[in-house]
Structure 1
Amino acid sequence: MQFRFLEYFIALAEERHFARAAARCHVTQPTLSAGIANLETRLGKRLVQRDRRFVGLTAEGEAILSHARRLVAGHDEMRLAVDAAGSLRGEMRLGCIPAAMPYVGRFMGALASAFPDLRVAIRQLTSDHIVRGLAGFELDAGLTYLDAEPAGGMIATPLYSERYCLAVHPGSLLAAADEVTLAQAVREPLCLLHQGMQNRRILDAHLARLKVQATPVATADSYIALLSIVARGGLNSIVTDSHADFIAPATGVRLIPISDLPESNRVGLLVGALEPMPPVARAALTVAHGLTIA
Structure 2
Amino acid sequence: MSELSRQPRILLVGPSVEVVRAAGAAGFGVWSLWDARRCPDARLAVVSERLLLADFADEAGLADATGAAAEAGLCVNPPGAVRLLADKEAVRRVGEVNGLVATGSSGAVGGARFRVDTLSVHGMHHTVGITVETPYGVLYPAPVTAGVAAALRSAVASLLDLAGYQYGPACTSVVLTARGPVTTGCRTVVAEEPVAGLVRVAAGRDVVGDAFGALAGRDVVPVRARGFAVAIAVGGLLGERVRELPYVREVVGGYAVVGAESVDLVVELAGFIRELAGSGVC
Please state which band the TM-score falls in when normalised by the shorter chain: under 0.3
Higher helix share: 1
Higher relative contact order (CA 8 A, sep 6+): 1
Q: TM-score, normalised by structure 1?
A: 0.20
